Structure 1
């Protein structure tokens, strides 16, 4: 399975989050990455990786932060993020890491170690960074983990209370695109359906198949309504109507639609009575019996800036035509983000169209490839995970709160969570200085632990903010196989070239650390990485064989490069159509077995920011708030189209999208003219939390009062040792609000952010995001702070 070095050309195949590619190698170097021939909608991200492979940002040797190594971890320029690094041998760096982890664990307990990893580092089943680091830390004694995701934490927590199942089960239960084309007449998409997001999938993308389905919908006459501040959040293929509402006001619009249905007696009373619980409580709220405020179209119009007659006519169409209400993940990454999902289910239930395939309620169509294509994923083997001896976990977006307030407690989904005293962080396969909010706050909180270890291939901000760096191989430099969620393909990831001489795989790093800590054989199970890949494939083959699905043997699979699995027969658990047609035969996994428009469980939590039924609550920041007098633009920090999150921002595709070497910010012509800004300018984007520079694109695809600056530009503060320093590259998370969605889910609220923009005058600072840190030499004993001689070889 290993790549052979030769002077002649060689072609291998690989699978990524954003598609399958053929890789051409000459003389041991990758010279081209081409989409496979049968992918008719290939992502541009893949070919752009070639430009990144020779980047100066590649980490080539193990390195340790100088201030940490010399016992001055938080002083002046020795702060994390600003310090020099010292390159060491593997043995020296591994000894330091193992000894420090063991010492901190002995002194503060296993819950003092935070197992940070956010998954998307690799689409491979074995070389999955999150699985590797969690397996290692669990075997080392345990760790504090995280709950939910940055993508859709509010959805993950609220939907199980409303329609049952797990947080992500809706992705396999949502109506398929072929069902929509065949049966639906009207799709109302809150948050739109941005095709750019459908180029990626968490476990790999076998083929992109969105455009043919959209053409079928168009040809069938399906009407699409794009409810979003951004017009191109919907493909031009479907000629969608655009309702450019104010950001964070989706719930108000949904409630006005619901009010119209009730007021005009267009709601499905039989469905609400026999398949839902609590509609009467919600109806009283909508009609104003609770607070004296009727949530009608006239009430919603000034909040949403959608005319009342447009709202009323849309509600009538939803009642008259077979309709689907769908919500994107973006709208729940906001203050009170649980509410739009809950209210969207209620609105869909009121129309009664859940009985029909392709209609009712759906989610995620504009979030990942595979959603709406296949109903469920087969059982694919993954790296086994032992039980974590530590039973502490924190909501993923509350890492700053935990670092700042050890011992403090927060509410979460009906229980109390106490923050542990986090003394060590091990991060592998993610970039918190991309996906977390209010990065200036994170810079300060990140100084608090005694130890930060990072496995990385590139000098990202997370690497520069570490104490110990282990350089690791990329997906092109190792063997694996991929299988994406709701994607029928198993795809080979064939090693195309050797990693740089001193780069190991994550697996090799953890094997060596585990050896030092006394559980090496248990961690590796005496298998090499390639033996693990074969083992997991054969285990998958055996499991699926018992289900009647035949896969080829490993050699045949590896030669073919991919294999397609059949769609599982039958309806998925919790299927809404099956439930809607016969609720007694197919009850939902809720306390009542029905859709809970009022949840006694949630009501019993007594959360003032998430009561027992959907409500409208003003966000902490929005264009209707007093703060808008100072910061009059709402920032949308959505997903980029030329990279995945921050991955390969230094690649050719992402670099080609930059404006003046910075992430582009889109602004409406009226807002640009009022500020004297034109396309190609450099703009300063700012609020009370921070400021960044971005390249301007004037574009009427964003509504007035809104600017759009995608996430993922590598964090590049001008003065890394100074909190609040100007960010030079266009990372919007120096501006975003770091607040839990509510006490229920504690999810991220990045889309609840007000800013202003001004033209940058004078010479702009150069972008240094892709530069490696400074290196220094070190003389003397390797003895970092807090590590005693008893742990010099990692005695556990």
Structure 2
């Protein structure tokens, strides 16, 4: 249909990486960051050319084989062309397929995937919309728990320190660090590319100036990790390039030094923790004959023993803060660095002090280190899920490949359900998941795969039914986050592309065909829902006696500022002051240095206290390099990979891998070369950037380049674009959390001697 009239003037809007205004002229989008943001994210530049990009899904599409032969397992997904029936026909067919699966197999045969960040808008939030629809139309669905980013920490930390809210949202703030912190020990760093992003939006990027001011006051930043620029230049950080995967050894050695030199806070350990005696036996080697001292750790991590002991003394000498990046726990036995670092902080005795103690994942997202809002934000109710089955989010391939198989999770003995239909809205599993060749095999097992999105991601290309959804700038919404005070009226800046529809409209159409339209919509259209959801925040403001503008006033003004809770250190400060009156949400009410509950699970891969468990995958002669596959700097995950700013970081459209010059010279590789990166699981191409910011023996290929396999390639196609998840391992961190192990793997790199094939990741598939 023809484009609708353009809105007049710049329109306020918000994204996970910042608030901004946007004006569309029919071809390009002019983007202006919010004037109050001291350090706007350059990722906003991805919006400028994406609204009418060739990668957009413009009309419904159905895989030809599914249309002609019906639902069923097939390895033709991702290889066949599409046809484009009209909306009504596609919705009729999808409603019939949902009804069939429910009638024949029950709602427990439907996996409501939809893991992904989707939009910053709270109403047009794809996960909320699809889960509400499934609860209403099917009576529920198989869900996922936890996240790819923090799967291990989200399970282990409640055993150790209780509520995650205590550590993530009500703990150490950047304002405290600027005033109080003497030394920050950053395992994995605090890269600004991560903290510029927060789900729901971030209106003021505080981190660059806060780090600069803290350093000017005298705060020392110490980075442990293989990539020197994982802390920004203004930190002037001391770099300890410990060998990949050896952080726990270093943490244990720091603990050992504190103990043997009497630098640990025995009073805090006695009154605020439990299990230290059990851990100390392990630390001193009383059971296994190996003291976890600095000399032992030096042989593993490559940091001199005298540096380790000196660092322990520095930590004990002033106000110290321990931070751990998400990436450390995205690895085999990823629970261990999270637990060991918490124990290190507990031994220093500073947990709960302003600017001190333990702040897991500070700098990993823009949520952390900020004050929380004092009133609730608008959120879309999802209803009640009548299906009890669930999986840890990173175990989707295991589930699809092994229906009926048992698995362990956090002390529970569970069974994988048999899935017939997968429905994904607003996410891209071919970005988040590991071992993509295995994932392709897994998706071949279902009867029907549905993807609802705005662009032709690899997930959409592998679907049977593809429904075109609007982009965030093509609809009205409300932008909000629990840790950002700015509530934003996200006004549409452009009409929908092609035949794209809002997720709400798509699900309302399906609900009508399945006889549950009113239960899904409650008789409201999208505009009425926005007013309804806003009322919750308005009423909360009024209850506090604060200015509470009505929706029309808010919408006309474009934003309102919400009050914040005081920066009082939250539950950890209260716990420190009086642990009896303010216990943590652990079995003992204290910090659990050793956990009887975890020990009782009997997991050899996650014992009852922090332990050194080296990865079962180590470099060898065939694959001698460590690959780091962390978050990209030019986009959020794989979102808008086709956007201008994301493309500016590529070379000839191909993702860039960083190598140390010594590693490149040994292989005859020069700056700008295209290389093949490979291991036993797969291979991809990437363009080379030489950098001494990499530790020797380590290569860096960020995630988010859309998976682009060679056409009709067989079992292990070459990814032409540079997606590292063709290389990473698909296994759980341990039986406790079953989190993702996607941060690191082993690989080899060789110069690609043939003419590199063109990248086709952002081209629509045939028939679309």
TM over 0.5: yes
The one of 143, 149, 152 equivalent to 1:151 is: 149
Taking a change above 3 Å as real, the CA distance of residues 201 and 355 of structure 1, as seen in their structure-2 partners, is closer
What CA distance in whole angstroms lies between the structure 1 residues aligned with 2:424 and 2:434?
17
- Does 2:253 match 1:275? no
Taking a change above 3 Å as real, the CA distance of residues 7 and 441 of structure 1, as seen in their structure-2 partners, is closer
After superposition, the C-alpha distances for 1:265-317 in whole angstroms (9 at most, x for unaligned) are: 11111111111000000000010001001101110112111111110100011
Q: Secondary structure at the match of 2:368?
A: coil
The one of 722, 740, 753 equivalent to 1:761 is: 753
The one of 429, 433, 443 equivalent to 2:430 is: 433
After superposition, the C-alpha distances for 1:756-794 in whole angstroms (9 at most, x for unaligned) are: 101111211110001111118xxxxxxxxxxxxxxxxxx
Taking a change above 3 Å as real, the CA distance of residues 518 and 9 of structure 1, as seen in their structure-2 partners, is closer
Q: Secondary structure at the match of 2:342?
A: helix
The one of 575, 578, 585 equivalent to 2:581 is: 585
What CA distance in whole angstroms lies between the structure 2 residues aligned with 1:212 and 1:484?
21
Which residue of structure 2 aligns with residue 725 of structure 1? 717
What CA distance in whole angstroms lies between the structure 1 residues aligned with 2:93 and 2:16?
34
- Does 2:84 match 1:87? yes
Which residue of structure 2 aligns with residue 676 of structure 1? 668
- Does 2:519 match 1:522? yes
Which residue of structure 1 aligns with residue 767 of structure 2? 775
Taking a change above 3 Å as real, the CA distance of residues 683 and 501 of structure 1, as seen in their structure-2 partners, is closer
What CA distance in whole angstroms lies between the structure 2 residues aligned with 1:620 and 1:13?
50
Q: Secondary structure at the match of 2:500?
A: coil
After superposition, the C-alpha distances for 1:385-438 in whole angstroms (9 at most, x for unaligned) are: 211010111010000000000001111011012111000000001000001000
Which residue of structure 1 aligns with residue 21 of structure 2? 22
Residues paired across the two proteins, number: 766
Q: How does 1:224-623 map to 2 (within 5 A)?
A: 224-375=221-372, 378-569=375-566, 571=568, 575-623=571-619
Taking a change above 3 Å as real, the CA distance of residues 8 and 635 of structure 1, as seen in their structure-2 partners, is closer
What CA distance in whole angstroms lies between the structure 2 residues aligned with 1:50 and 1:770?
16
Q: What displacement does 1:105 show?
A: 1.4
Q: Secondary structure at the match of 2:488?
A: strand
The one of 45, 48, 51 equivalent to 1:50 is: 48
Q: What displacement does 1:351 show?
A: 0.8
After superposition, the C-alpha distances for 1:467-522 in whole angstroms (9 at most, x for unaligned) are: 11111100000000111242121111111111024111000000000001110011
Greater shift, 109-118 or 479-488, is seen at: 479-488
Which residue of structure 1 aligns with residue 103 of structure 2? 106
What CA distance in whole angstroms lies between the structure 2 residues aligned with 1:139 and 1:610?
39
Q: Secondary structure at the match of 1:182?
A: helix
Which residue of structure 1 aligns with residue 731 of structure 2? 739
Q: What displacement does 1:370 show?
A: 3.0
Q: What displacement does 1:662 show?
A: 0.8
What CA distance in whole angstroms lies between the structure 1 residues aligned with 2:711 and 2:71?
17
Greater shift, 546-555 or 462-471, is seen at: 546-555
Taking a change above 3 Å as real, the CA distance of residues 125 and 235 of structure 1, as seen in their structure-2 partners, is same
- Does 2:121 match 1:124? yes
Runs of 5+ consecutive residues of structure 2 not aligned to the other structure: none
What CA distance in whole angstroms lies between the structure 1 residues aligned with 2:71 and 2:753?
37
Taking a change above 3 Å as real, the CA distance of residues 500 and 703 of structure 1, as seen in their structure-2 partners, is same
Which residue of structure 2 aligns with residue 188 of structure 1? 185
What CA distance in whole angstroms lies between the structure 2 residues aligned with 1:425 and 1:760?
37
Q: What displacement does 1:10 show?
A: 2.1
Contact 1:176–1:375 under 8 Å retained in 2: no
Which residue of structure 1 aligns with residue 623 of structure 2? 631
Q: What displacement does 1:51 show?
A: 1.8
What CA distance in whole angstroms lies between the structure 1 residues aligned with 2:36 and 2:472?
22
Q: Secondary structure at the match of 1:51?
A: coil
Taking a change above 3 Å as real, the CA distance of residues 728 and 586 of structure 1, as seen in their structure-2 partners, is same
Q: What displacement does 1:565 show?
A: 1.3
What CA distance in whole angstroms lies between the structure 2 residues aligned with 1:301 and 1:561?
56
Q: What displacement does 1:8 show?
A: 9.0
- Does 2:192 match 1:200? no
Q: What displacement does 1:14 show?
A: 0.6
Q: Secondary structure at the match of 1:488?
A: strand
Q: What displacement does 1:20 show?
A: 1.3
Contact 1:117–1:427 under 8 Å retained in 2: yes
Contact 2:473–2:494 under 8 Å retained in 1: yes
Contact 2:391–2:416 under 8 Å retained in 1: yes
What CA distance in whole angstroms lies between the structure 2 residues aligned with 1:684 and 1:286?
43
Q: What displacement does 1:216 show?
A: 1.7
What CA distance in whole angstroms lies between the structure 1 residues aligned with 2:3 and 2:532?
22
The one of 66, 69, 74 equivalent to 1:68 is: 66
What CA distance in whole angstroms lies between the structure 2 residues aligned with 1:548 and 1:83?
60
Which residue of structure 1 aligns with residue 29 of structure 2? 31
Which residue of structure 2 aligns with residue 162 of structure 1? 160
What CA distance in whole angstroms lies between the structure 1 residues aligned with 2:590 and 2:421?
44
Taking a change above 3 Å as real, the CA distance of residues 671 and 74 of structure 1, as seen in their structure-2 partners, is farther
Q: What displacement does 1:7 show?
A: 7.4
Which residue of structure 2 aligns with residue 658 of structure 1? 650
Q: What displacement does 1:9 show?
A: 5.7
After superposition, the C-alpha distances for 1:427-481 in whole angstroms (9 at most, x for unaligned) are: 0010000010000100111101001111111111111011111111000000001
Which residue of structure 1 aligns with residue 740 of structure 2? 748
Taking a change above 3 Å as real, the CA distance of residues 375 and 320 of structure 1, as seen in their structure-2 partners, is farther
Which residue of structure 1 aligns with residue 638 of structure 2? 646
Query: What is the TM-score normalised by the length of structure 1?
Result: 0.94
The one of 698, 702, 711 equivalent to 1:706 is: 698
What CA distance in whole angstroms lies between the structure 2 residues aligned with 1:20 and 1:441?
38
Contact 1:261–1:315 under 8 Å retained in 2: yes
Greater shift, 346-355 or 473-482, is seen at: 346-355
Contact 1:22–1:36 under 8 Å retained in 2: yes
Q: What displacement does 1:4 show?
A: 11
Which residue of structure 2 aligns with residue 218 of structure 1? 215
Query: What is the TM-score normalised by the length of structure 2?
Result: 0.97
Contact 2:130–2:425 under 8 Å retained in 1: yes
Q: What displacement does 1:721 show?
A: 5.5
Greater shift, 741-750 or 481-490, is seen at: 481-490
Q: What displacement does 1:81 show?
A: 0.6
Q: Secondary structure at the match of 2:43?
A: coil
